[in-house]
Amino acid sequence: MKINEDLFLKYNSDLLPENEKMEFEKLLTKNPEIDEQFNAFKTKLNSIKIDGKIDERYFNSLLPKVREKIDNKIKKKTIPKLAYALPLLVLISYLVFNYTNNPVPNNISKEDNFTELYNNVDLTNSYLSDLFLTESISLTEDKLVLNLGSDFLKDINNLQAPEIIIDEGAFEENFYNNYVNYFPEDELNKVYTELHSSNNL
């Protein structure tokens, strides 16, 4: 075994194979000179390990500095959360308020809608009387709105009536044929009777 610094380095780094390691350890116990050389090597290598000292005030000020940074981080995290939460809260409040004050009607049947429409009709001066009792109707869409009142076309749409072709000539036939189907027989009779009596037809 060659005794040199490389051997010391290998032993110190735990790089020697087990048999060489045991052999070297035997040498150290038997040969004081080698033991001394090895100790000198270790002392030299460890001389780099100095206990550095710096101002203790630095370490004393470290924790308050870090505490301040941690607090700032927590604040920074909280503000963006609020920035999102507040407008969201306003929006939700608005929607809830709007919904509770203007509930959306549902389950309105065609029949309900028609009954409502029918009840609102002033039979003495109504467009229905014009519609059913005029001998011939020839209208364009503009004229229809003008003649029947602006809401009538909307009412027709609400009733989801079958396709109405607003066309001169064809209108009368389509409208009458399709619309009369919506009227139950007894209601038609009732309307007719009332109209008859009010207009002395």
Partner 1 sequence: MSNEEEFELIKEFLRGKEKAFNKLVQIHQKNIYWLARRMVGNHFDADEITQQVIIIMYQKLKKFKFNSSLSTWLYKITRTRSLNLIKRNKVKNFFSLNDSSVKQKATEDNIFVDLENKEKIERVQKLLNNLPVKQREVFLFRNFEELNYEEISKITGKSIGALKANYFHASKKILEMMKNEN
Interface positions with partner 1 (CB under 8 A)? 5-6, 9-10, 12-15, 44-50, 52-55, 58-59, 62-63, 65-66, 69-70, 73
CA distance 44 to 121: 113
Least distance to partner 1 from the beta carbon of 70, Å? 6
| Cβ proximity to partner 1, 32 vs 52, nearer residue | 52
| Cβ proximity to partner 1, 69 vs 110, nearer residue | 69
Least distance to partner 1 from the beta carbon of 104, Å? 47
Least distance to partner 1 from the beta carbon of 74, Å? 10
| Cβ proximity to partner 1, 5 vs 35, nearer residue | 5
DSSP 148-193: H-HHHHHHHHHTTPSP----TTHHHHHHHHHHHTTS-HHHHHHHHH
CA distance 127 to 132: 9
| Cβ proximity to partner 1, 12 vs 140, nearer residue | 12
7 backbone φψ class: left, alpha, beta (φ>0; ψ -120 to 50): alpha
Here the tokens at position 45 are 């290598």
Least distance to partner 1 from the beta carbon of 85, Å? 22
